[in-house]
Amino acid sequence: ENTGTYPAENVKITDILNAKLDETSVKMINASHSYTLNRGGNTLNWNLNGIDLAPSGKGQVTFQIKPKPGYAIGDIIPNTASIYFDFNPAIITNTFTTEFVTSLSVSEFGNSSFLVYPNPTKGFVNISSKDSSYLIDTVIVNDILGKTIQTRTINSASTTIDFSDLSSGIYFAKVKSDNSESVIKIVKQ
């Protein structure tokens, strides 16, 4: 965010990568403005020239990177970046951390008491009990790493869950009723 009182014509973002990250695996995902990316060792420099970012205007770059071999469960990798608006001193971003956790375990998979459709989905997913006399108590949606994305109390034989704001990928819905509990893989396109 341009916290100044004048538009920033040129913005530079510098990210010095943690030694646990494989700098050769950087892959750009998205950027709010046109940019050039210069890489030197473990340093990434994005130059967003001529963007004329208004005061309070926002911009971003999004990338993915793989860890180097040898990381362990519990390892935490911090990341910050320095953002330069024209010739002003750097603004340091908040620290983003990635923690390596055990993957989500799936105790019951495939033999479900629930119908889930459409799957894959681009938006909403309908979940209903195969036996309408059983009510769905809760639905817990986790990402592939086991992080809880959404928890809903239902108390109905069917429900609809909105996946439209989630990134494409694999999610797991843990559906609980009085008589059954199932973990269902859902693919968001």
Q: If you average pLDDT over residues 57-73, what whole number do you get?
A: 87
pLDDT of 104 over the 60 cut: no
The percent of residues above 70 in pLDDT, for the chain, comes to 94
11-99 and 114-188: identical CATH topology: yes
pLDDT of 17 over the 90 cut: yes
Domain 114-188 coded CATH 2.60.40.3080: yes
**How far is the C-alpha of 86 from the C-alpha of 8, rounded, in Å?**
6
pLDDT of 75 over the 60 cut: yes
For 11-99, which CATH class? mainly beta
3-state SS string for the chain:
CCCCCCCECCEEEEEECCCCEEEEEEEEEEECCCCEEEEECCEEEEEECCCCECCCCCCCEEEEEEECCCCCCCCEEEECCEEEECCCCCEECCCEEEECCCCCCCCCCCCCCEEEECCCECCEEEEEECCCCCCEEEEEEEECCCCEEEEEEEEECEEEEECCCCCCEEEEEEEEECCCEEEEEEEEC
pLDDT of 109 over the 50 cut: no
Q: If you average pLDDT over residues 178-184, what whole number do you get?
A: 83
pLDDT value, residue 108:
43
Q: Could you state, in order of their start, the residue ranges of all structural domains in the chain? A: 11-99, 114-188
**How far is the C-alpha of 1 from the C-alpha of 18, rounded, in Å?**
24
- Tell me what the pLDDT averaged over the chain comes to: 88
pLDDT of 107 over the 60 cut: no
